[in-house]
Structure 1
Amino acid sequence: MKVEQLSLTGENWSGDIDTIEIQPNLILLFVSLLFKSKRALVSKLQERYPNALLVGCSTAGEISGSKVSDDTVSLSAIEFEKVICKIATVDIINIDKSYEAGKFLASQLENENLKHALVFSDGSNVNGADLVTGLKSILKNTSITGGLSGYNIDSKEAFIIANSNIVGKKIVGLGFYGQELNVSFASNGGWDSFGADRLVTKSKKNIVYELDGQPASEIYRKFLGEKVNTFPNSGLSFPFSMRVNELDTPVVRTVRAINEEEHSLVFAANVPVGSSLRLMNSNADRLIKGAENSAKSAINTITQQPELAILVSCVGRRLLLKQLVEEEVEAVEEVLGKHPKITGFYSFGEIAPSGNSSPCELHNQTMTVTTLSEC
């Protein structure tokens, strides 16, 4: 497995891709919404590398090496020697069909030789939790990682890339086939929970109406106090830890809106009735430590040095870390070492298991790390 990593800018992208020396059979593209030449880029890549699959999505920030940018393309050219890759796509008919979309996508990828599935979805038109549940219903023994694409909040503009297709309202899955693939993964947030557990007594999908039989918005307002006046920023600073049952690893759920008329909380992902919520907070040092721990967990079970690391971190973490955002990427790089190439993006939802022995989940406010190599 050979990897070349480029960070393309609007001015120099054409000349930069001419410097690729390997013959890639897979090219990952994480593209800024500000990058205007994406169609010309895809066209030239297809002309220059007709045997390469092109896969990627729009971002809320591009990760290339240890740098985080807003107007670039993080390009990874990958040449596998033994592993075979396959693309599958599915349209998002409507958000209520996200489970069915995940199930259909997984059925296209399913094969006894499938080792890993990498999934990127339009982040503005999908229920990410239902998507992951649909994927897991078919790919019961296959690891899955990926993320929901970044998008413009005002226009909901987002897109995925699947060869020549650069479109919204679509999900792309990339299957890796062959036992020669070494893959590892982990997800960690760096958040601390505090206060009492609250039982979700009334909810529908990602909207929570009651906690412990009381209006959810009133309880959250009491939690936040005066900080409620800075919402939605305070929602990023004070998400919830969610546990469906006592045996589950908790996942982070971010509050995206407070509905005053319905006295409800609108979360970034599903919060089922019967689950328990507990308030969380963090600071920059703990978020950066969480990214470091994600990298440590990802490589804890592998003996071969990875060639590529794909990082998917939450846009909420970026907004909280501000000018320190590159420090969480640098923390991952320090764990992985200088050899593996690093690519990735800031997302509106991260898809990964918490560790190599955990089930895949949709996460909010985490740093996920997926490493790849060939044996």
Structure 2
Amino acid sequence: SALHSRHAGREISEKLLSDDLKAIFLLSDGLNINGSELVKGFNDILPQNVIVTGGLAGDGSKFESTWVLKEKCPTQNCVSAIGFYGDNFSIHTGYKGGWDVFGPERTVTKSSGNILFTLDNKPALELYKMYLGELASELPSSGLLFPLSIRKDTHDNTDLVRTILAIDEERQSLTFAGDIPQGYLAKLMKANIDNLIEGASVAAKRTNITNIDNTSLSISISCVGRRLILKERAEEELEASIDILPNNTQLIGYYSYGEISPNFINQDCDLHNQTMTLTVIHES
């Protein structure tokens, strides 16, 4: 639940917090944990100079079961985190989507947590089906191809992207991987393959890492929706990011149901969807 997810974030933060805590990398169940509430829990406790990155586990387009390792065993309903301490290393982050918005901007007129009921007082599922056409029969997996961009108001330039996880035919509602606050503005998005690949390049540039002598590790977390669209071109987004990062960078990663990274406004930890998110670590 949302309450348990936020509590988990707070509890982990309290366990890891100390004067020399520099960063936290976390991995979470992708279906049973509310990612938005989880990151709120971290923001409740941690000072702004502590970087929090990571992601939610994914299950391809099946949406059946996700897990993280706990004491060497795959475990559902679980969040795992590691704290980085001291001054002998540096950590850099960057994220970017690259999706195109289309259609009018609508107001979230009814929502509860990560469940969206109406946009401009029209049933959310009905509206989505209208835009998806023939692909509507493949929901929720086809929803990965049409995420939702949300922002607080017309003055807010920090658009967050949200991915559909489930649908409810009876209530005509959509469940997303992160919260959809009531009163927010929302726009549908669609894929532009070249822009998605360019987005991975921008994510790498946003890490602001310059060439270094030491080997660095880049943990690349990309949304599973990007993988489904890029198909055989998926490796191009990895190449686009590695081309920008220092030459001696080792790359690992996975495809997620949500990416966690600081935003560029106040450095608070945020949940993102449909982005390429990079965490680059190297010894100082």
Quick check: TM above 0.5? yes
Return the match for 1:117 from 15, 24, 34: 24
The residue aligned with 2:252 is 343
Aligned partner of 1:269: which letter? G
The residue aligned with 1:320 is 229
1:295 and 2:237 correspond: no
Separation in 1, partners of 2:108, 2:63: 31
Separation in 1, partners of 2:211, 2:263: 20
- Cα drift, residue 195 of structure 1: 2.2
* C-alpha contact (below 8 Å) 2:31/2:63 kept by paired residues: no
Cα distance change on mapping 1:234 and 1:168 into 2, 3 Å:
closer
- The 5 Å alignment of 1:1-375 reads 96-141=3-48, 142-151=50-59, 153=62, 156-162=65-71, 164=72, 166-245=74-153, 246-247=155-156, 249-298=158-207, 300=208, 304=212, 307-355=216-264, 358-375=267-284
Separation in 1, partners of 2:265, 2:51: 8
The residue aligned with 1:74 is none
Separation in 1, partners of 2:277, 2:54: 9
- Cα drift, residue 214 of structure 1: 2.1
Cα RMSD (Å): 2.2
Q: What TM-score, normalized by structure 2, do the two folds share?
A: 0.90
- Cα drift, residue 206 of structure 1: 1.3
* C-alpha contact (below 8 Å) 1:291/1:332 kept by paired residues: yes
Which has the higher relative contact order, 1 or 2, with Cα contacts under 8 A spaced 6 or more apart?
2
What is the SS of the residue equivalent to 1:351?
strand
* C-alpha contact (below 8 Å) 1:307/1:373 kept by paired residues: yes
* C-alpha contact (below 8 Å) 1:184/1:356 kept by paired residues: no
- Cα drift, residue 175 of structure 1: 0.9
Cα distance change on mapping 1:202 and 1:322 into 2, 3 Å:
same
What is the SS of the residue equivalent to 1:107?
helix
- CA shift digits 1:90-127 (9 cap, x unpaired): xxxx5641000111011111112111111111223211
What is the SS of the residue equivalent to 2:81?
strand
Separation in 1, partners of 2:248, 2:265: 22
What is the SS of the residue equivalent to 2:156?
coil
* C-alpha contact (below 8 Å) 1:124/1:151 kept by paired residues: no
Separation in 1, partners of 2:211, 2:239: 22
Name the larger-Rg structure: 1
Separation in 1, partners of 2:190, 2:47: 33
Cα distance change on mapping 1:374 and 1:355 into 2, 3 Å:
farther
Separation in 2, partners of 1:230, 1:166: 28
Cα distance change on mapping 1:266 and 1:344 into 2, 3 Å:
same
* Aligned-pair identity (%): 41
Gaps of 5+ in 1: 1-93
What is the SS of the residue equivalent to 1:331?
helix
- Cα drift, residue 279 of structure 1: 1.1
Q: What TM-score, normalized by structure 1, do the two folds share?
A: 0.69
